[in-house]
Structure 1
Amino acid sequence: MRALVLDQHDRRREVSETLGMSFIRAKALRQVVAEPMTMRELADRLNTDPPYVTVVVDDLERRGLVRRMAHPGDRRCKVVTATSAGADAAAVAERILGRPPQALRSLCAADLAELDRILAGLASG
């Protein structure tokens, strides 16, 4: 499955090339589009350290894709929110990431149903 989805059809690379940014930046942008969050929350979601998140958010902010504001309840914290340009870029990333490889799109309905059954079983198990 990895060979099919990541090696042969690496949507992450396509996202990076289309948006002109590293995939971690695109991933951070997709997170804050889903919901504004503190820098610490974003670091936790990205499973990375806070200083690196600062570098990522600095770049996204320079590009006009996010804004950083003081947290209303704790001025020591910064909340990251997406701009409308950031939401548009995240939507492009989502469309690319959500597009299945041609090999999957060309499966017949019965094979797709069987694959769906198998994947649902793996996800629940």
Structure 2
Amino acid sequence: MSHDPQMAARAWHGMRTLILDRYDRRKEVTAALDMSFIRVKALRHLAGSPMTMRQLATELSIDAPYTTLVVDDLVRRGLVVRDVHPDDRRQKIVTVTPEGEKAAARAEGILDEPPPAILALDPADLATLDRIIATLTR
């Protein structure tokens, strides 16, 4: 199978433009939750399951001091709690609160809302796009 590097670059540029420029939901979600996107991202990760501070830092690709600032803010907002890890007293584990679950679900709802351009696609084109995206994200 022959690959056209220029076509691949065009497709990649188009995806970046679509997601990062035209329909960047990050601005919408940060305004709705009144917090930075890294805090939203942390909350979404923690809604999946509790994590140690180290695990969260790794998931977010941020350093430990910044992770502490992010978690401190989420604690102040009542969205997470930080406790001593039950199996290792040297570590802290961060767990989302019921209020945090609601905020994370609201964030997911905003981020998952398809833009009008995707909703307007012909059903066959949408099915093709869905198949391609599934292949790319496997």
> What TM bracket, shorter-length normalisation?
over 0.9
Q: 1:61 aligns with which of 56, 60, 75?
A: 75
SS of corresponding position for 1:79: strand
Query: After TM superposition, where is structure 1 displaced by more than 4 Å over at least 4 residues in a row?
Result: none
Aligned to 1:52: 66
Q: Which residue of 1 aligns with 2:32?
A: 18
TM-score by length of 1: 0.95
CA distance in 2, matches of 1:118, 1:67: 39
Q: Percent identity?
A: 60
Q: Between 115-124 and 42-51, report the one with greater CA deviation.
A: 115-124
Where does residue 103 of structure 1 map in the other structure? 117
Q: CA deviation at 1:122?
A: 3.0
RMSD, matched Cα: 1.0
Structure 2 equivalent of residue 121 of structure 1: 135
Give the TM-score normalised by the residue count of structure 2. Answer: 0.86
Q: Tell me which residue corresponds to 1:30.
A: 44
Deviation, 1:39, is: 0.2
Q: Which is higher, the Rg of structure 1 or of structure 2?
A: 2
> How many Å apart are 1:14 and its aligned residue?
0.7
User: Which structure has more RCO (C-alpha within 8 Å, separation ≥ 6)?
Assistant: 1
Tell me, which stretches of 5 or more residues in structure 2 are unaligned?
Answer: 1-14
Q: Which runs of 5+ in 1 are unaligned?
A: none
In 2, distance between residues paired with 1:25 and 1:110? 37
How many residues align? The count is: 124
